[in-house]
Amino acid sequence: MSRADLAERGVLVVGASLAGVSAISELRSQGFDGSIRLIGSEEHPPYSRPPLSKGILKGSERIEEIGLPPLDEDVEIHLGVTAVSLDPAERVVITGGGEEMPYGGLVISTGARARTIEPPGGRSERVLRTVDDYRDMSKSLEHAKTVLMIGGGFLGMEVASACHELGREVTIVDLQPPLRSQLGTFLSELIVASARKGGVEIHTSPNGISLRGDHDAVEAVELDDGTVITADLVLTAVGCVPNIEWLEDSGLEIDGGVHIDELCRVAPGIVAAGDVTRVAAGDRVAGRTPQWMNAFDQGRIAARSLIGPNEPDLVATVPYFWTEAFGIELRIAGALPVMGAPAAVEGTLVPGQPGPALLSWGPLDASRTCVAVNKRMPAARLRRLVAARRSG
Amino acid sequence: MKIELNRTRCEGYGFCEESAPKLFRLDDDGELEILQPQVPDDELKKAEAAARACPVAALSLVQS
């Protein structure tokens, strides 16, 4: 793909997500002045999702405040438009309305959607992924005294925490102890202990669960020991699935997500970024990394790869993640989960009131992970702590 | 144009510093310092890039 081609036919970004927006700002910052079109299936201008399960749900932030930085006026934005297929040979994307959108360069940033437990056509589950989901959820929450959260991952714990803070009686159900597989025992216990102390009930049901409810809605869940838990509002937060169906006939490798290389390249003239991707290096295909910072970083990397030679940026390859639940705020740079107790602790970790503290795991090399607990710390600084070790 | 920073939104990602090092600096504690709140004309493009690069939309440019 030559630069002239790109300039002539322009760049098409499919998916008005953080990854898509980040790619667009990077294209402009790198001096690309050809046309850019963005299409997105949601009706809302691009926004940041993490606040939905935190400040927005708790009521400390407003929907109007979570917009992503506005794009330049010369970026053509089509909202409420869904891509239904891609023809890489002709370099055309077809939309749900039947429109053909030619491109010189394509950015795939269609993200992921909430996974549900029921098979298609089953009971409808309440999830939280989009602004519309949030509006539905907060309406139902008004009339609910008891909340049952199915899924003790990051999203499930954040939403459960917000409901608890709003005075609801909260129960959490998962196949495994909440957050243990994501964070490791040490960090997950900080949050779980705080949740229990606050009166939240947590059940694990390693052999599976089944949903109960007479009509469309889920009203209860049955655990593997036969216990049935009922609640006014039952929520599901069991991960996400990549939006790849529109690429089924494209010939691209999309098993479990769009396969990209380290520089976010998919095929000549096509890059991808964010929740929809998984990195494939040789025979090894990593799982997806459906996280905010990853989407932002990959958007930038994808943009650079699209318009010219690219090199990986060290800091941008350090994973960064944050979460807050039950009074524990974690900012994490480096790989997860972390095993065992931290190798070093700066600050205090009094049980019941941990932090402010800076913890680190692992030897002083690439495998190091640094975690700020209830400590406001700039993301760049935390990431550099890990990056410095990587290069040194 | 003048730079406005919403400090409660800022998480110190540092992309503004990368875009416009003459206007922004993360200090040793990683807190963001605005070196020139009043943007000189020759830095305007970079200031716009910095505001655009902020992933939490903590920066805006307002008419002074």
pLDDT greater than 50 at residue A391: yes
As a whole number, the mean pLDDT across chain A is 92
Q: How many CB pairs under 8 A join A and B?
A: 56
- Residue A388, amino acid: A
Q: Is the CB of residue B63 less than 8 Å away from at least one CB of chain A?
A: no
Least confidently predicted of A47-61, A308-322, A366-380? A308-322
Judge contact between A360 and A370, C-beta under 8 A. yes
Closest chain B residue by Cα to residue A296: B55
Residue range A65-76, pLDDT digits in tens: 899 988 888 999
- What ipTM was predicted for this assembly? 0.84
Q: Is the CB of residue B39 less than 8 Å away from at least one CB of chain A?
A: no
Give residues with Cβ within 8 angstroms of A390, minimum separation 6: A314, A318, A365, A366
Q: How confident is the model at residue A392 (pLDDT cuts 50, 70, 90)?
A: very low
Q: Which two tokens stand for residue A5?
A: 């081609």
Q: What is the DSSP string of A104-162?
A: SEEEE---EEE--SSPTTS-B-B--SSHHHHHHHHHHHHT-SEEEEE--SHHHHHHHHH
- Residue A209, amino acid: I
Q: What's the pTM?
A: 0.93
Residue range A237-276, pLDDT digits in tens: 999 999 999 999 999 999 999 999 999 999 999 999 999 9
pLDDT greater than 70 at residue A316: no
Which percentage of chain A shows pLDDT scores above 90?
A: 77
Give residues with Cβ within 8 angstroms of A67, minimum separation 6: A45, A46, A47, A48, B57
Are A67 and B19 a contacting pair at CB < 8 A? Answer: no
Which percentage of chain B shows pLDDT scores above 90?
A: 50
- Residues A245, A249: Cα–Cα separation, whole Å: 9
Give the residue from A270, A215, A264 showing the smallest Cα distance to A93: A270
Q: Is the CB of residue B33 less than 8 Å away from at least one CB of chain A?
A: no
Sign of the torsion formed by the C-alpha atoms of A97, A295, B47 and A269: negative
